[in-house]
């Protein structure tokens, strides 16, 4: 795992404010990505497997990790959360929403427990040919953290084609804008889970964002989803 102090966090935060997403280059190295993929079939790590078609979530499969998380995932959650909490607090402040997010991950997790949200939400996803993920928001209870992360575990054009990460941004009383990103193996993308503030002439308004994955044409695509809030079930 890359040194978490390496990214230029000022520009990451600026991108989050301006666009609602930001990238982190090469957060994991190739071996770390390969290791996570290699453990996909090892049931000891997971609490639940979701076959996406069954819920009409798309086509593909994902698995929720169980606690304790693999050390690298625990480290990602603990080290990235405090970098994002100030952004989350700024968003909620300008939108006059809810209580502040604590500075450290352990405190946020304790807050999740008071909402009955105790189950891990980190997941690994696998899509084959035709695989896709319909546009959604990852909410697992009343308490949510407004930014999450996806890690790209294999290489587009080499390991798979198609399968772009897609976001939509819904501005009040307007149609949705689509944003498509393609990342390299080991890169991470931080993005808005639910909504974010955008400044208008009469102050800040709320822009809703959803995300999904376009159809994989060939090969297999693996990602790791790091959501910071825990789930009710
Ligand atoms: O596979 C992807 O790129 C998207 C996964 C996803 O929906 C998530 O990480 O929340
Ligand atoms: Fe998601």
Residues 136-168 have pLDDT tens digits of 999 999 999 999 999 999 999 999 999 999 999
Give the strand pairing for 147-152 and 188-192: antiparallel
Residues 185-228: tens digit of each pLDDT: 999 999 999 999 999 999 999 999 999 999 999 999 999 999 99
Among 158, 81, 163, 168, CA closest to 126: 163
Structure ipTM over 0.95, yes or no? yes
Classified as helix, coil or strand, 139 is: coil
Q: Which domains does the chain have, with CATH numbers?
A: 9-226 (2.60.120.620)
> Ligand 1 centroid vs 150 CA: distance in angstroms?
6
Tell me the best of 60, 179, 211 to mutate to test the pocket of ligand 1, counting ligand atoms within 8 Å of each CB and taking the most.
211
| 106 to 109, 138, 192: CA distances (angstroms) | 5, 20, 21
So what's the pLDDT on residue 210? 98
SS3 4: coil
At 1 the three-state DSSP class reads coil
Q: Can you tell me which atom of ligand 1 is nearest the CA of 163? A: 3
Contact residues of ligand 1, CB 6 A cut-off: 125, 133, 138, 150, 165, 211, 213, 223, 225
Question: Which whole-number Å values give the CA distances from 17 to 13, 77, 101, 147, in the listed order?
Answer: 6, 21, 17, 11
């Amino acid at each position: 795992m890359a040194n978490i102090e390496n990214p230029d966090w000022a520009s990451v935060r600026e991108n989050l404010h301006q666009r609602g997403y930001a990238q982190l280059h090469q957060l994991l190295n190739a071996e770390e990505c390969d290791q996570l993929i290699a453990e996909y079939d090892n049931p000891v790590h997971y609490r639940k497997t979701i076959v996406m078609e069954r819920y009409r979530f798309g086509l593909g499969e994902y698995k929720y990790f169980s606690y304790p998380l693999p050390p690298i995932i625990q480290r990602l959650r603990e080290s990235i959360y405090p970098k994002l909490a100030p952004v989350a607090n700024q968003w909620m402040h300008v939108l006059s929403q809810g209580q502040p997010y604590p500075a450290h991950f352990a405190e946020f997790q304790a807050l999740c427990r008071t909402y009955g949200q105790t189950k891990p939400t980190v997941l690994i996803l696998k899509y084959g040919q035709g695989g896709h993920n319909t546009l959604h928001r990852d909410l697992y209870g009343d308490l949510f953290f407004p930014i999450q992360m996806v890690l790209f575990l294999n290489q587009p054009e080499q390991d798979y084609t198609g399968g772009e990460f897609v976001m939509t941004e819904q501005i009040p009383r307007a149609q949705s804008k689509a944003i498509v990103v393609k990342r390299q193996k080991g890169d991470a993308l931080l993005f808005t889970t639910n909504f974010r503030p955008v400044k208008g002439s009469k102050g800040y308004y709320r822009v809703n964002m959803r995300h999904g994955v376009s159809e994989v044409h060939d090969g297999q695509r693996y990602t790791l989803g790091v959501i910071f809030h825990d789930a009710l079930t």
